[in-house]
Amino acid sequence: MTTQFPAKDSLTIGFAHVAYRLAERFALRNTGIRHFEVRSVDELAARIGEADALVVSGFWRNEFAARAPRLRFIQSISAGTDQYGRDALKAHGIRLASAQGVNERAVAEHAMALILALARRIPEARDNQAKRHWRGMVSDLARREEEIGGKTLLIVGLGRIGQRLAKLAKAFDLRVVGTKRDPSTGPGAADEVHGNERLLALLPQADIVALTCPLTPETEGLIGAKALATMKPGAHLVNVARGRCVDEAALTAALEGGSLAAAALDCVREEPLPMHSPLWLFPNVLITPHSAGETRRYEDNVIDLLMENLGRLWRGEAALRNQIL
């Protein structure tokens, strides 16, 4: 199904995000393009019919496709696009572009921060601070701070974020091994790259495993009981990808059993993490609330992409920037 993309003066853009100031930043560009902003899924459901273009991430629901007769284009706010049902969008002639790249620096910097926080036991220091407790020196090596220089970091998903993380990690003298779908494109900033199918063979080498992969049928549950059992005893796990890449029951068991020394999780299976989740309680688990991608530049980065893609759609170009559909 192909329908002409509306001209500038008949276009309406919907911005749908819980917190980002997208409409405010967009208005500053003085494009004269009609737009509206919603701050909840319910509000989006009520106004979806008005939008020719939608800038959205977590509020998207696949049933909206059938209720959005004008909608031709979604500019995702998120780099990951696992929430968009490809078939639903295709059936309604809706194009989709990801925001890959907008938060590449932020997510890689966050992953590095988590790696350092676990190695330097920053969460423990903060917990002690809350108790006004000045911890003494420790004899037990397992409880002492560690150096990361010379250790091996395995980056699962050596895409743009993974590459950026590899570059940062090399500055800390880590040995960096990566996996990706097509390793023939080379290791880039990493020391080595391998195909995804080599994961289990590579895990025993890694002192730190960082997930930066998209959520796909291949990566769902990738870090399960088998992968966790294959990891080096005392390894650290960092997840800035998607919660569903990890089997949480298996993760909990590995933390309880002590084979995994620590985990830092920016994303979990169900977000917000439910009150009853055992993950809240582990002193060696550091949780950040899916904030790895946050940056004060977010709105402008997404609007740059949106403007470029609108330009392509108006010119009738076949390919979008970061095109998914």
Q: Which stretch binds ligand GLV (CB under 6 A): 4-12, 78-86, 193-201, 312-320?
A: 78-86
Total number of residues that touch ligand GLV (CB under 6 A): 6
Residue 178 within binding range of ligand GLV, rule CB under 6 A: no
Coil, helix or strand at residue 188: coil
x-or-dash pattern for ligand GLV, window 81-100, by CB under 6 A?
------------------x-
Using DSSP, state whether 90 is helix, strand or coil.
helix
Catalytic positions, please?
242, 271, 290
Query: Is 103 near ligand GLV (CB under 6 A)?
Result: yes
Q: How far apart are alpha carbons 105 and 246 in whole angstroms?
A: 23
Closest to ligand GLV by CB, 123 vs 243, is 243
Of positions 79, 202, 263, 320, contacts ligand GLV by CB under 6 A? 79
274, burial (CB in 10 Å: exposed 0-12, middle 13-18, buried 19+) = exposed
Tell whether residue 78 is a contact of ligand GLV (CB under 6 A).
yes
Contact between 239 and ligand GLV (CB under 6 A)?
no
Q: Which is nearer to ligand GLV, 80 or 178 (CB)?
A: 80
Beta-carbon count within 10 A of 47 CB: 17
DSSP designation for 39 = -
Asked if 219 is part of the footprint of ligand GLV (rule: CB under 6 A), the reply reads: no
Can you spell out the DSSP letters for 212-238?
A: -PPP-TTTTT-BSHHHHHHSPTTEEEE
What are the residues facing 146 on neighbouring strands?
Answer: none
Closest CB to ligand GLV among 78 and 309?
78
Closer to ligand GLV at the Cβ: 58 or 195? 58
User: CA torsion, points 62, 68, 71, 75, in degrees to nearest 10?
Assistant: -40
Using the rule CB under 6 A, give the single segment among 77-85, 142-150, 228-236, 295-303 that binds ligand GLV: 77-85
Q: Residue from 14, 80, 123, 159 that binds ligand GLV (CB under 6 A)?
A: 80
Question: Using CB under 6 A, which of 56, 104, 293, 306 touches ligand GLV?
Answer: 293
Phi, psi of 250 (to 5 degrees): -65, -35
CB distance 179 to 195 below 8 Å: yes
Nearby residues of 168 by Cβ (< 8 Å), 6 or more positions away: 108, 109, 112
DSSP 253-269: HHHHHTSEEEEEES--S
Using rule CB under 6 A, residue 243 touches ligand GLV? no
State which residue, 80 or 123, has the beta carbon closest to ligand GLV.
80
Which window, 72-80, 174-182, 251-259, 273-281, contacts ligand GLV (CB under 6 A)?
72-80
- Contacts with ligand GLV by CB under 6 A lie at 78-80, 99, 103, 293
